[in-house]
């Protein structure tokens, strides 16, 4: 299905056009963009909602802020940066997308992403599912005990929690202990088999940060600081993030 033409209603001041100009690398010139389409050719979100990276960029450069803010396409972008890799000018389109997301009111943002961000702020586990420290400890030990009882060769499996001075501090996807706890087991077995010196933390153990996807930089930083503090407080050398 061919893309619909861009219709410019009237000349107006643009917020995002200035952002586009800021994203140009040294020596770059937006006026030389030939709309070659290389950015869109490798984009996994091309065609969704009759939009693609090339069209999104051109709309921004033409001052069509209102149209950009009313298009949900910014939330389909995966931020994979393939467009930057392909672009001869190396224009950072994902950063433009990020700025558009940041301009959306919280109550208009996708409920799943916004809700996960808010959940992670509820306590110091940073869990996007809202799991508490007590829930986390219970699930880990319960699953570990099941492994010790049912899987030969892992009768002495230990899952360290808040181990001071461990080499590795391991993060875990928030959804696994809540909805798919058995998905944690394979990594445990690998770490046990190789004799790795590792630990989980009761605080800051969640691997993801949905506030970043909401372009909520204040709360993104807050969550990162909680996680970093958890690693520092235990004196771990390496922070392993499974995401």
- Read off the pLDDT of residues 92-136 as tens digits, 9 standing for 90 and up: 888 889 989 999 999 999 999 999 999 999 999 999 999 999 999
Residue 198 DSSP label: E
Supply the CATH number for residue 42's domain.
1.10.1060.10
- Name the domain count of the chain: 2
φ and ψ of 43, to 5 deg: -80, 125
Nearest by Cα to 226 from 242, 192, 196, 202: 202
pLDDT at 57: 87
Nearest by Cα to 48 from 7, 19, 78, 5: 78
From 55, 89, 104, give the residue that closes a domain. Answer: 104
**100 and 122 together in one domain:** no
**129 and 63 together in one domain:** no
How buried is 131 (Cβ within 10 angstroms: 0-12 exposed, 13-18 middle, 19+ buried)?
Answer: buried
Q: Does residue 208 belong to any structural domain of this protein?
A: yes
Q: Does residue 217 belong to any structural domain of this protein?
A: yes
Structure tokens at 62: 């033409």
Contact predicate 159/181, CB 8 Å? no
**120 and 210 together in one domain:** yes
From 104, 126, 153, give the residue that closes a domain. Answer: 104
**143 and 74 together in one domain:** no
**35 and 82 together in one domain:** yes
Contact predicate 131/140, CB 8 Å? no
Enter the pTM of the model.
0.81
**145 and 236 together in one domain:** yes
**213 and 128 together in one domain:** yes
Q: Which residues of the chain have pLDDT under 70?
A: 1-17, 19-21, 23-33
């Amino acid at each position: 299905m061919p893309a619909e033409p861009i219709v410019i209603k009237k000349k107006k001041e643009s917020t995002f056009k200035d952002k586009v100009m800021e994203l140009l690398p040294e020596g770059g010139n937006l006026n030389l963009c030939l709309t070659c389409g290389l950015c869109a050719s490798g984009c996994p979100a091309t065609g969704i909602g009759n939009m693609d990276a090339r069209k999104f960029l051109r709309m921004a450069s033409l001052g069509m802020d209102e149209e950009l803010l009313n298009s949900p396409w910014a939330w389909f972008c995966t931020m994979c940066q393939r467009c930057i890799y392909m672009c001869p000018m190396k224009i950072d389109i994902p950063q433009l997308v990020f700025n558009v997301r940041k301009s959306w009111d919280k109550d208009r943002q996708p409920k799943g992403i916004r809700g996960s961000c808010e959940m992670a702020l509820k306590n110091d586990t940073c869990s996007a599912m809202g799991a508490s420290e007590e829930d986390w400890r219970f699930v880990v030990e319960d699953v570990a005990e099941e492994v010790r009882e049912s899987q030969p060769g892992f009768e002495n499996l230990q899952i360290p929690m808040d181990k001071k001075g461990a080499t590795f501090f391991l993060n875990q996807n928030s959804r696994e202990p809540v909805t798919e706890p058995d998905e944690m087991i394979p990594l445990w077995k690998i770490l046990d088999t190789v004799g790795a010196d590792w630990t989980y933390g009761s605080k800051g153990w969640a691997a993801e940060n949905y506030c970043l996807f909401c372009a909520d930089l204040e709360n993104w930083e807050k969550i990162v600081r909680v996680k970093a503090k958890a690693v520092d407080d235990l004196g771990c050398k390496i922070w392993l993030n499974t995401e």
